[in-house]
Structure 1
Amino acid sequence: MAEPELGSRFQRRFLAARQLRSFPWLELEQNLRTAPDSSLLVDILHKTILHPLCVKYPPSTKYRRCFLTELIKKHESTAAEPLDELYDTLADILNEEESTRCYKNYLLALTLIVNCKPVVCADPSLSSRRVLQPTGECVTLSESVAIISGGTTGLVTWDAALHLAEWATENSAVFSNRTVLELGSGIGFTGIAICKTCNPKTYIFSDCHPCVLKQLTENIRLNGFVLEPERTQHIQTESRGQEAEATNCQKPKLIVAELDWGSVTEKQLLDLQPDVVIAADVVYDPEIILALIGMLQKLSTFRADRKPPEVYIAFTIRNPDTYRLFQAELDKAGIRWQIIPARSNSIFLYDVQPNVTILQLFI
């Protein structure tokens, strides 16, 4: 039957507050014309606005109002009997006050390889296929409703962070039982997703903007992880023992670090010692590019006789000149790079598939 699948597709998009035009409205209309009863609409209502996650951590009031208005239009277009539950829910939302903050709930899934034929085939693509298997986990984020807020763009989740998280879930061995440092963590999506799906030993979130660090810490706790309050300050070696004692029942150990690439100290770098370094959407300005490359060079220099970390950088190519500048500056710094092949599945159902590239850097 198509109806449960359709309801689930509405659910994934709605909980993550994707743009309404990206929803399968036409398919809904076709289903309603074929079977003009209210069961499908009730199913969608309970998988979206009345879902327990949405009730506890709702998208913006405006978003829910617009979604429900569109749902009612589809219902009314079938000339079916009015559905009181739709109108009652809309009335409740209309009585709510608008807020500058909202929640987004991203349902996580793993990519599984499913055998389609019982015989061995010369072409693996013909004998198996990749499917998404929901994990039952989600990443819940408190975000700003405005793209720019508090003088920063770091209070919302950007597409490159979603892409990097998708790649990580397909390549969990890169992170499993290792120390991961994320540069420019923003409000935490990529790191929280990796902590829930890839089993790192230690995960170090980092950023430099006070408002971002505050929101990042809130989101980490929102997702059930424990943090020491003082971990939002500069990393200090002497507090590591206290942090380990406080979180010894939790794996991975999560740390939030205030890290300014331009003024980072040798002591901070020696204390970090990551096995893996990642960053998402930090390549968008020439000055930031130079600061990022400088930071990577320092991480390579101060490594306490350990091998350099693996480095993965994801970014949306908005300006090809900026992308070429990044590559040129990497070459100038003697940092080799290669493009990571595109993923096979899209977990987070983008409004429009963005032009995102993931580079592996060799520092």
Structure 2
Amino acid sequence: MSASPEGVEAAGPGAGDLVLSFQRSFFTMGRMDSLPLPELEERLKNSDDSTLIQHILQQTVLHPLCNKYPPSVKYRRLFLAELIKKHEMTGAEPLDDLYDALGEVLRSEELKMCHKNYFLLSGENIRLGENVAIISEGTTGLVTWEAAQFFAEWAMENSEVFNCRSILELGSGIGLVGITICKTCTPKQYIFSDCHPNVLQQLRTNILSNGLLLDSDTWNAKDCEVEVKNKYVSEENQGPEITVIGLDWSEVTQEQVELQPDIIIATDVIYDPEVVLCLVSVLEKFLISNERKEQGSVVYLASTVRNPETYHQFKMELDKVGIGHQVIPGPTRKIFPYNRCTEIELLKIVFAHHL
């Protein structure tokens, strides 16, 4: 999927890389301003050949993957409009395939769910179904947020952190971080958690669609409860033990606290002062429970800093209960096409005396 499209280099040196950049952004529904449109425009100025536009079209909207797992109708419409605009600027003959593709999209009905495909440097593909609305059914957990992409990149760069470790993820959403770690790192156990039944249902679907098999006999999305013993394992039992649980931060059970994970992960969960108090309480319970372990637990928390006051409050609440935190460097390799200007901070959190 990530190989240079056949014949694309006829459009000029480096054209293959440009096509792949468009492809990666398109299949993750990257923002229009994340597309390499200026570079495309510059190349088209120096040539009236439609070959490059044709290659981009073939590797995005007309690609078989788009037919099977399409981005939203709105996104495809905007994407094609940008390509048409750039092509018309050249004064070249109209490209029928472009207008045919746009007509097809305009005749399509916008569905509730769309798909994102993340292409990793290893050549693997992570596929996620998510809701087209940012807030749907009373939750924001049915979409992928930038801090999740940020942390997934960091995890792939620091895979040794997760080697043979048990991991609990708080607020897993639709699963980008956990699926990435399970596919590219070597954890012993990974526990996905969320509190919303519809999120858990989509999370389960996404785990399955990424080649992680499961025995769902005791999985109950309706009442948002999953037994810890219900394990999801990869093919031939080669991967980590993967569990999905319903975990409400305001009603954490003693059984859940006794999971005692080595590592706790959370991304983009600091957005409301009331949620902050619940989150700090949950972290305190898990860290206290794991204090008797030789190394205790470590928390990695990535946050998009949308409201500095709320984010500062979170750090202050950690200090009040003796939980230490330090900012650690983020990822250095660009894999996902999210907005790099967004302020995202990664914290390592432990009891203060462990820092």
Supply the AA of the counterpart residue of 2:206.
N
Residue 125 of structure 2 corresponds to residue 138 of structure 1: yes
Residue 199 of structure 2 corresponds to residue 187 of structure 1: no
2:208 to 213, 221, 242: 221
* Structure-2 change in CA distance of 1:244 and 1:102 (3 Å): closer
**Equivalent pair of 1:104/1:140 in contact (CA under 8 Å):** yes
Could you tell me how far 1:310 is from its partner in structure 2? 1.4
> What pairs with 1:195-214 in structure 2 (closer than 5 Å)?
195-214=182-201
1:8 to 14, 20, 38: 20
Residue 299 of structure 2 corresponds to residue 311 of structure 1: yes
2:111 to 99, 103, 106: 99
2:239 to 243, 251, 271: 251
**Counterpart secondary structure, 1:262:** helix
What is the TM-score when the length of structure 2 is the normalising length? 0.88
Could you tell me how far 1:291 is from its partner in structure 2? 1.2
Deviations 1:166-188 (A, max 9, x none): 11111101112211110010111
State the 4+ residue runs in structure 1 displaced beyond 3 angstroms.
Answer: 231-237, 243-248
**Equivalent pair of 2:162/2:185 in contact (CA under 8 Å):** yes
Q: Identify unmatched segments of 5+ residues in structure 2.
A: 1-12
Could you tell me how far 1:333 is from its partner in structure 2? 0.5
**Counterpart secondary structure, 1:226:** strand
* Root mean square deviation of aligned Cα: 2.0
Q: Identify unmatched segments of 5+ residues in structure 1.
A: 109-133
| Equivalence for 1:129 | none
Residue 251 of structure 2 corresponds to residue 263 of structure 1: yes
What is the TM-score when the length of structure 1 is the normalising length? 0.86
* Count of residues in Structure 1 that have an aligned counterpart in Structure 2: 334
**Equivalent pair of 2:213/2:232 in contact (CA under 8 Å):** no
Could you tell me how far 1:352 is from its partner in structure 2? 5.1
| Equivalence for 1:295 | 282
**Counterpart secondary structure, 1:17:** coil
Residue 328 of structure 2 corresponds to residue 340 of structure 1: yes
Could you tell me how far 1:305 is from its partner in structure 2? 4.2
Residue 310 of structure 2 corresponds to residue 322 of structure 1: yes
Higher deviation after alignment, 343-352 or 61-70 = 343-352
Higher deviation after alignment, 17-26 or 244-253 = 244-253
Could you tell me how far 1:235 is from its partner in structure 2? 4.9
| Equivalence for 1:53 | 65
Could you tell me how far 1:2 is from its partner in structure 2? 2.2
**Equivalent pair of 1:247/1:253 in contact (CA under 8 Å):** no
**Counterpart secondary structure, 1:86:** helix
Counterparts of 1:248 and 1:32 in 2: how far apart (Å)? 50
Counterparts of 1:141 and 1:246 in 2: how far apart (Å)? 17
Residue 78 of structure 2 corresponds to residue 66 of structure 1: yes
* Structure-2 change in CA distance of 1:70 and 1:264 (3 Å): same
Counterparts of 1:269 and 1:103 in 2: how far apart (Å)? 34
